Structure 1
């Protein structure tokens, strides 16, 4: 994909210092680290390498990526590597996409308690699906799932929700057969929503009781147990948003979907329109419009844009992709192999190894001039510069 004309890194480099100074004491260390990483990404500050084409005379300098999971430029390669590792786990069965969303009242609390609330969101949503699926009146089987946390809406607002990909079936308690769900139907959404609401509220009260929640601003009064219970009371009666999309057409569609969602960040560089010291403009999708063109352009104060972006920085070490049930990391390989035997499916073919495989110092991207392999001929560390070279000689025609 060609480089975007405007990037989040450009905004941080030009206006990040002023934002830091104006908000001193209100920007967390994790957020400062993300800003610094994005600012330095693919610049001489991180070092790099010189690559030369093995077929023509083309050479170029490429600077290292920051590899920060919040950086819009670094997620493409990370997603490709992750998807390559997950491809062998796919089963030839229907897959379903289920989304669990937190009410706005809970999202306000989550903004200051990310690790506790986001962790509870993972546990409650996974527990909901596994409990309902295991009910003998429903499917009566142990299922598996991959859950991905997103914390943003299209306008960069705070909107925590879980995207869950679930194979349409599972193993009964005796584990002797594969129990498939009804074609095109996984589980009742309303049943999922009500159990999710109960599990999450119970978990939230437990967090409050053990002193794991902090409250600020107009929410400070919620530190009192009675005030907190009163705040949650209306949420016990409202319908929480849980919805399931139609099943994917096949495993390849699951891979394509996951590649778009697993390593997505709050906003991609391609959505940016313009930026100056006063305003940042970007494209966003208005989901309130049911028909017609949903895409609009939003203009935010530059500092407000940076604030909204940093609002989605996750706590250090917090995993935003998690696997549960049959797909839990400890037993995933064993369970998948067992299911394949039960449904009579063969394991996916492994790509044969070859002596022609690219060497470790050969880049994945081909030469922009002739399409040949690009080989690294020099590496340099941060603070260093590549050795000067004479211009390559032109090849005789």
Structure 2
């Protein structure tokens, strides 16, 4: 390790060689992001008086990368904003007890799926009860696996609409003057029962330790379902989506210092009144904690339920908008990367940084097939 390592250089720590192949591949992406290993493109100013040339290294595009994902996040948020309806939206969090952490680590895909299933069924069953709504709400769920100190803390954040769709018409929220959507205790009890039922019935789960002891430890414990007051406006919903949907375990703005042996970062201690504190970790411990939050390959961490479920969503939303006398949804428009950069940061990525008037034009890109080195031709022995 170099004397003054950067945050990104930690993703090349030698202990990563002991991780599984997929985790090693993820860390390789993160370590090589915006370096020559990912290729580059060369641009030249189109002004004859200037002729400035510049090259930029490519990003890795990995969903766990602290450098990547902001543009994809903005595109995703824009699409979700078009689906907002004139109703209140609630924020609900379903958390699994920490006694299950070792079991989840050994069965990530199965138990993450079970977490989604149990939480979504809990919300949908409550919503279908006539006294609460009598319809299906729109639900967006996002899986997070971390605490602020990078500890393993699996939970799902949910955005739930107060109103819903009964298959024919829109049903307005019944608790317009209350500060909760469904009773918190009822949510927690049903969520616990559903998750434990799935846990006990799934014979494919690999148990680490005594199964009966683990079940006993969580059966008599109070499970945590956190229900917040409704968002103040659709804008707040969008703000929430931006902060949570494409978030990763730790981002650059929380890193305070990296020296030859340790890394220091900022975190909130929710157990101590959400006070902001600082933590030192060795490089080895930092990459160990970070690796816990690499999701299984191709695992979908953002899911939709209720009237937002993917099958038939477009037709369903069109019917809902019609019953609410809303204008039809506008056709989706793909906004180019350079326009999003200009809107968000006020930066024209094609303006020449040297003369300020010319336009930078790409003249070479390692991603172009024509620029790739041909594979060596294997010689074929002549027939005898």
What TM-score range do you get, normalising by the shorter chain?
0.7 to 0.9
Which residue matches 1:366? 348
Q: What is the SS of the residue equivalent to 2:271?
A: coil
Distance 1:194 1:54 in 2: 66
Is this contact kept in 1: 2:42–2:56, CA < 8 A? yes
Is this contact kept in 2: 1:366–1:372, CA < 8 A? no
Shift of 1:93: 1.5
Query: Of 45, 67, 86, which aligns to 2:61?
Result: 67
Which residue matches 1:42? 34
Matches within 5 A, 1:1-397: 8-13=7-12, 16=13, 18-20=14-16, 24=18, 27-52=19-44, 59-172=53-166, 175-183=168-176, 184-207=179-202, 210-215=203-208, 219=209, 222=210, 228-290=211-273, 294-347=275-328, 349=330, 365-367=347-349, 369=353, 370=356, 375-381=361-367
Shift of 1:375: 4.2
Shift of 1:249: 2.1
Distance 2:339 2:371 in 1: 19
**CA distance change for structure 1 residues 7 and 91 in 2, over 3 Å: closer, same or farther?**
farther
Is this contact kept in 2: 1:92–1:250, CA < 8 A? no
Is this contact kept in 2: 1:116–1:213, CA < 8 A? no
Aligned length: 357
Is this contact kept in 2: 1:8–1:72, CA < 8 A? no
CA deviation string 1:28-64 (max 9, x = no partner): 1111011100011111111121245668866432111
Is this contact kept in 1: 2:169–2:320, CA < 8 A? no
Shift of 1:273: 1.6
Distance 2:31 2:169 in 1: 54
Distance 1:204 1:92 in 2: 38
Distance 1:197 1:7 in 2: 43
Q: What is the SS of the residue equivalent to 1:252?
A: helix
TM-score between both structures, scaled by the size of structure 1: 0.81
CA deviation string 1:271-320 (max 9, x = no partner): 112223421111111112327xx211100121001100011111101100
Q: What is the SS of the residue equivalent to 2:270?
A: coil
Is this contact kept in 2: 1:49–1:380, CA < 8 A? yes
Shift of 1:170: 0.8
Shift of 1:385: 9.8
CA deviation string 1:227-267 (max 9, x = no partner): x2342124223221101112122222212211111111100
Pairwise CA RMSD: 3.0
CA deviation string 1:213-237 (max 9, x = no partner): 242xxx2xx2xxxxx2342124223
Shift of 1:363: 7.6
Unmatched tracts of structure 2, length 5 or more: 373-384
Q: What is the SS of the residue equivalent to 1:69?
A: coil
Distance 2:164 2:55 in 1: 50
Distance 1:338 1:119 in 2: 30
TM-score between both structures, scaled by the size of structure 2: 0.84
Shift of 1:136: 2.0
Distance 1:348 1:6 in 2: 49
Is this contact kept in 1: 2:268–2:277, CA < 8 A? yes
Q: What is the SS of the residue equivalent to 1:273?
A: strand
**CA distance change for structure 1 residues 142 and 303 in 2, over 3 Å: closer, same or farther?**
same
Is this contact kept in 1: 2:94–2:224, CA < 8 A? yes
Shift of 1:110: 0.7
